[in-house]
């Protein structure tokens, strides 16, 4: 990978992993027109779940933010593949959606998802600004703490 965004990732100490393998009957991303839709990504590294459990019980807000950031690194991995290894092709982060594994009284979903949003802004600058939804779930696959999906515009 080369280019301005690759240099920015290196500057931030972020190495994109190989994309996580889908754990069901779906593909990791779909390109339609100039949009890339990336399937929900969990907080895995090299296939291993790093952040599991409920945010607000097993993880604090900072742990949830770290989980959301790791999910976003995994999103970027698939986005890089969709862009032929050139993340400079990204014109805009359009929207991300996040699910937070939490109990019924948890209300800090937006703070958790700030981990994902902040990372996109750090990597892409203003191009990383996006619309977003942050929701809670009583459980997530593999007991992951957070799951993040995204839509990006590319050239």
Q: Are strands 35-41 and 29-32 parallel, antiparallel or unpaired?
A: antiparallel
pLDDT given at position 19 = 80
Question: Are residues 67 and 74 in contact, defined by beta-carbon separation less than 8 angstroms?
Answer: no
4-63 pLDDT, tens digit each: 999 999 999 999 998 878 878 999 999 999 999 999 999 999 889 999 999 999 999 999
Give me the residue spans of the domains in the chain: 4-154
69-111 pLDDT, tens digit each: 999 999 999 999 999 999 999 999 999 999 999 999 999 999 9
Q: Enter the CATH code of domain 4-154.
A: 3.30.1330.40
Q: How far is CA 38 from the centre of its chain?
A: 9
Confidence band, pLDDT 50/70/90 cuts, at residue 65: very high
pLDDT given at position 125 = 97
* Cα distance between residue 26 and residue 10, in whole Å: 31
Residues 6 or more apart whose CB falls under 8 angstroms from that of 126 comprise none
Of 143, 149, 147, 148, the closest CA to residue 54 belongs to 143
Confidence band, pLDDT 50/70/90 cuts, at residue 130: very high
pLDDT given at position 41 = 97
DSSP labels, 91-105: EEEEEEEEEEEB-TT
pLDDT given at position 113 = 98
Question: Are residues 89 and 45 in contact, defined by beta-carbon separation less than 8 angstroms?
Answer: no
């Amino acid at each position: 990978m080369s280019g301005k965004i690759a240099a920015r990732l290196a500057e931030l100490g972020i190495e994109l992993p190989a994309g996580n393998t889908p754990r069901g009957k779906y593909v990791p991303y779909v390109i339609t027109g100039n949009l890339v839709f990336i399937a929900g990504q969990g907080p895995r590294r090299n296939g291993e779940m790093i952040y599991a459990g409920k945010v607000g019980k097993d993880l604090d807000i900072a742990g949830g933010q770290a989980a959301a950031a790791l999910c976003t690194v995994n999103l970027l991995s698939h986005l890089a593949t969709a862009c032929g290894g050139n993340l400079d092709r990204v014109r805009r982060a359009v929207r991300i959606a996040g699910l937070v594994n939490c109990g019924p009284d948890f209300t800090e979903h937006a703070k958790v998802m700030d981990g994902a949003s902040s990372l996109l802004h750090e990597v892409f600058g203003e191009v990383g600004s996006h619309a977003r939804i942050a929701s809670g779930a009583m459980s997530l696959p593999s007991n992951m703490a957070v799951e993040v999906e995204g839509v990006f515009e590319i050239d």
